[in-house]
Structure 1
Amino acid sequence: MRLKLRGKSFGGRAVLGPLSLEVERGDRVAILGPSGIGKSTLLRIVAGLDPAFDGRLTGADRLATVFQEPTLLPWRSARDNIMIPTGCDGPTASALMDRVGLPGREAQYPRQLSLGQQRRLSLARAFAARPDVLLMDEPFASLDAETATRMIDLTRDLLDDSGAGLLLVTHDPQEPARLGARALRLSGTPAILG
Structure 2
Amino acid sequence: MRLELTGKSFAGRPVLGPLHLTVERGQRMAVLGPSGIGKSTLLRILAGLDRDFGGRLESREKVAVVFQEPVLLPWQRAVANITLPTGCTEAEARRLMAEVGLAGQEDKFPRQLSLGQQRRLSLARAFAARPDILLMDEPFASLDRETAGRMMDLTARLLDRSGAGLVLITHDAAEASGLGAELFRLAGSPAALVRDERAG
TM range (shorter): over 0.9
Where 2:183 maps in the other structure, the secondary structure is: strand
C-alpha deviation, 1:59, in angstroms: 1.7
Q: Percent identity?
A: 69
Q: Distance in 2 between matches of 1:48 and 1:101?
A: 30
The aligned runs of 1:13-162 (5 Å cut-off) are: 13-162=13-162
CA distance in 2, matches of 1:116, 1:68: 12
User: 1: CA distance between counterparts of 2:145 and 2:133?
Assistant: 26
**Which secondary structure does the structure 2 equivalent of 1:7 belong to?**
strand
Deviation of 1:173 after TM superposition, in Å, equals: 1.1
CA distance in 1, matches of 2:83, 2:160: 23
Code of the residue aligned with 1:99 in structure 2: it is E
Query: Quick one: distance in 1 between partners of 2:55 and 2:166?
Result: 22
Paired amino acid for 1:24: E
TM-score, length-normalised on structure 1? 0.99
TM-score by length of 2: 0.96
Asked whether 1:163 is paired with 2:137, we answer no
Q: Return the alpha-carbon distance in structure 2 between the equivalents of residues 179 and 21 of structure 1.
A: 19
CA distance in 2, matches of 1:84, 1:181: 30
The question of 1:174 aligning with 2:174 is answered yes
Letter in 2 for 1:106: E
SS in structure 2 at match of 1:6: strand
Deviating beyond 3 angstroms after TM superposition, the runs of 4 or more aligned structure 1 residues are: none
Q: Which runs of 5+ in 1 are unaligned?
A: none
Q: CA RMSD in A?
A: 0.4
